[in-house]
Amino acid sequence: MLYTLTSVLFLVGLFGLLTQRNIIKIIISVSIIESAVNLFLVLVGYRKEGLAPIITRHTSHGKIMELSVDPFPQAMVVTSIVIGLSVMALMIAIALRLYHIYGTYNIDEIKKKQEEEKT
Amino acid sequence: MTESLLISILVFMIISSVVALFTDELISAIIAIGALGFGGSIAYLIMGAPDLAITQIVVEVVSLVLLIRVTIGVGLRLTAGCCSKTRTAVAGAVVLLTSFVFAFSLRLFPAFGDAVMGRVQYAPSIFYIEYGLHSTGASNLVTAILLDFRAYDTLGEATVIFTAVLGGIALLRKRGRNISAGDEVSRGDTA
């Protein structure tokens, strides 16, 4: 059920990526896809009644071995979230640059203006 | 209990992403994407990943600020009208195909709550949980992996962020190099 819901979230992002013509909307759909993938990776490592993978004075070694959530996908997803932010910042910089040049965020209008410049 | 909570949060996230994609105003799309990110942060908290929840909140706030910066420059205009029929049909076909791929591949995973690391022989996660505290001295196993077992990954992440910052500066600077009209150098070389 939960895996299906994350894939639905991914598909919503994919549909938006393919249909939208506004650069801001395309950036938004990329970030939707990112969050769906991150959620799926963390869900795969979840255990029923799982504990956070932090060892305290009150958790014995056996208990953490038996109940801890998988820490490995979590560590990788931390990396992926931060990289997602920097990719988004780069996309926004490109969008701003395009807006300075063409005065619009719509891809179709940008294409039209490019063709007008050529002729 | 955990599962039903997670299901409700995921349904909330799906609704907010649909709203974000199909509203006409850019600013409400951005607010909806913020709702999606904070819902994800709560989901991480429930799934036993406090580090991820904190990181997600920080990243979400920063990306909201960036996106609002983009829209404020436009003066809150409405987006232009939507897509042609053929484009929607092609996108629907691609989405349908991908959903079939998902439906086939998701059956290979164990049921929810049964971690994959328990099914794999010699899974690295088991090693990290067993010897993480002993060999690194970090009581938080996620930081033990990030900064010790897989430190090269973190180094690569820093490189990616640095490159993105360089690209952003190069794209957004106001003053470029001055090129006079009679220069020998063509524009493509210096740009």
Quick check: is B55 in a domain? Answer: yes
Q: Give the pair of three-digit tokens for residue B2.
A: 């955990």
Under 8 Å between Cβ of B70 and B30: no
The residue segments making up the domain with residue B145 are: 114-174
Q: Give the pair of three-digit tokens for residue A51.
A: 């504990």
Quick check: is B94 in a domain? Answer: no
Handedness of CA A87, B16, A40, A78 (dihedral sign): positive
CB pair distance less than 8 Å for A81 and B59: yes
pLDDT surpassing 80 at residue B125:
yes
* A4 reaches B (C-beta below 8 A): yes
Query: Do both B53 and B118 map to the same domain?
Result: no
Please give the pLDDT value at position A91.
92
Query: Do both B3 and B73 map to the same domain?
Result: yes
* A64 reaches B (C-beta below 8 A): yes
User: Who has greater pLDDT, B70 or B18?
Assistant: B18
Contacts of B87 in chain A (CB under 8 A): 18-19
Query: Do both B26 and B73 map to the same domain?
Result: yes
* B18 reaches A (C-beta below 8 A): yes
Residue B115 DSSP code: -
Q: Which of B30, B51, B77 is the last residue of a domain?
A: B77
User: Who has greater pLDDT, B190 or B69?
Assistant: B69
Query: Do both B59 and B5 map to the same domain?
Result: yes
Quick check: is B188 in a domain? Answer: no
CA distance B16 to B20: 6
Please give the pLDDT value at position A81.
93
- Please compute, for residue B114, the number of CA atoms within 13 A of its CA located in the half-sphere on the CB side: 6
Quick check: is B9 in a domain? Answer: yes
Q: What average pLDDT score do residues A28-40 get?
A: 93
pLDDT band at B24 (very low <50, low <70, confident <90, very high): confident
Quick check: is B88 in a domain? Answer: no
Please give the pLDDT value at position A58.
79
| DSSP per-residue letters across A43-112 | HHT--TTPBPSB--TTS-HHHHHHHB--HHHHHHHHHHHHHHHHHHHHHHHHHHHHHHHHS--BHHHHHH
Please give the pLDDT value at position B181.
54
- The residues, ordered by sequence, that sit 6+ positions from B75 with a Cβ below 8 Å of its Cβ are none
Is residue A111 classed exposed, middle or buried when 0-12, 13-18 and 19+ CB atoms within 10 A define those classes?
A: exposed
Ranges of H-type helices in chain B: 2-22, 26-46, 50-72, 85-106, 124-136, 141-144, 151-172, 187-190
Question: What percentage of chain B exceeds 70 in pLDDT?
Answer: 86
Tell me, what's the ipTM? Answer: 0.88
Question: What percentage of chain B exceeds 90 in pLDDT?
Answer: 35
Quick check: is B100 in a domain? Answer: no
pLDDT surpassing 90 at residue A11:
yes
User: Who has greater pLDDT, B147 or B176?
Assistant: B147
Q: Which of residues 74-103 of A touch B (CB under 8 A)?
A: 74-79, 81-90, 92-97, 99
pLDDT surpassing 50 at residue B60:
yes
* A51 reaches B (C-beta below 8 A): yes
φ/ψ (deg, to 5) at A54: -125, 125
Quick check: is B62 in a domain? Answer: yes
The tens digit of pLDDT for each residue in A37-69 reads 999 999 888 888 778 888 888 777 777 777 788
Number of structural domains chain B divides into: 2
Q: Which domains does chain A have, with CATH numbers?
A: 2-118 (1.10.287.3510)
Q: What average pLDDT does the structure give for chain B? A: 83
Distances (CA, A) of B162 to A87, B23, B67, B135: 11, 34, 20, 30
- The residues, ordered by sequence, that sit 6+ positions from A113 with a Cβ below 8 Å of its Cβ are A102, A104
Mutate which of B2, B13, B109 to test chain A, going by most A C-beta atoms within 10 A?
B13
Quick check: is B57 in a domain? Answer: yes
CB pair distance less than 8 Å for A53 and B142: yes
Q: What average pLDDT score do residues A109-118 get?
A: 86
